[in-house]
Amino acid sequence: MLIRVINPNTSAPMTAAIGAAAARVAAPGTRIDCVSPAMGPASIEGHYDEAIATVGLLEEIRAGELLGAAGHVVACFGDPGLDAAREIARAPVIGVAEAAMHLATLVATGFSVVTTLERTCIITEHLVHNYGFTRQCRAIRACEIAVLELEHPGSGAYERIEDECRRALREDRSGAIVLGCAGMAELRDRLQAALGVPVVEGVTAAVKLLEGLAALGLATSRHGDYAAPLAKPYAGLMARFAPGGSS
Ligand code: 2AL
């Protein structure tokens, strides 16, 4: 089966790192195609970045559907455009934040999210509420690391993340850590070995969940609000995104 992992930011090094992490956990019959949109922000660190990145993401969802993808991963921790993607895709679409949070609740009664910049914490907080994990999410912690710093080996990002995880385990009563950025995918194994608690990372979690859904014959419901968007004209630059009403 083909799983398309879409990094909605346009950083090529981050896309390569996300693809490598996804490929490492994929089952023998799974092919990972990790892509990023041709247009959009270099990193996603706020509401505006998210809103703009969503358009390129949806374009990649459409491209993946044409390639016959059996599943799509939205590989940004804000899960931007997730509901919209589900309206236009026949194959299941999973966001990395929802994947990681769901798995964390299976291995601990409470988890802490350790993310990049403090300004992104409110995006995670909204997701926690939307997904119904307010009782399990004990804290959302920022390391004040810019997303693209994660790709620079000399930035000290790993050490700052490990320090914040240790503070979380001391202070939050959490049994598990959720990594709050797709750019942290390659740090998971090292962090879990260092911390000795489950460290859940969304890219790898989403790949395994998509494989599970496929094995069980489960796909997004087309009944109700995830039905195809209604056909209508879109004006101006958005004209090419107008839904045909047939997907
Ligand atoms: C992210 C992420 O996963 N990718 C990105 O560009 N920004 N999320 C975050 N909290 O920084």
Mind listing the pLDDT tens digit for each residue in 198-218?
Answer: 999 999 999 999 999 999 999
The correct answer on CATH 3.40.50.12500 for the domain covering 97-202 is yes
The fold of 2-95+204-241 is Rossmann fold (3.40.50)
Is residue 88 a contact partner of residue 58, using CB atoms and an 8 Å limit? Answer: yes
> From atom 4 of ligand 1, which residue's Cα is the shortest distance away?
76
Q: How many of the other CB atoms lie within 10 Å of CB of 45?
A: 20
CA of 34 to the centre of ligand 1 (A): 16
For residue range 152-161, what is the model confidence (pLDDT) as tens digits? 988 999 999 9
pLDDT of residue 244: 85
Instruction: Kindly list the protein residues whose Cβ atom lies closer than 6 A to any atom of ligand 1.
Output: 9, 43-45, 76-78, 115-116, 120, 147, 180-183
Domain coordinates of the chain in residue numbers?
2-95+204-241, 97-202
Atom of ligand 1 nearest to the CA of 49: 6
- Rounded to 5 degrees, φ, ψ at 182 are -65, -25
**What per-residue confidence (pLDDT) applies to 28?**
97
Pairing between strand 111-115 and 93-95? Answer: unpaired
- The residues, any chain, with a CB within 8 Å of residue 52's CB and separated by 6 or more, are 40, 41
Q: What is the pLDDT of residue 245?
A: 55
Supply the residue whose CA is at minimum distance from atom 7 of ligand 1. Answer: 44
Helices 121-131 and 96-107 cross at an angle (nearest 10°) of: 60
Low-confidence ranges of the chain (pLDDT < 70): 245-247
Do 97-202 and 2-95+204-241 fall under one CATH topology? yes
Q: In what order do the strands lie in the sheet with 2-6?
A: 31-35, 2-6, 71-74, 93-95
pLDDT at 247: 45
pLDDT score for 246: 47
Give the Å distance between the CA of 129 and the centre of ligand 1.
19
pTM (predicted TM-score): 0.97
145 in Cβ contact with 117 (< 8 Å) = yes
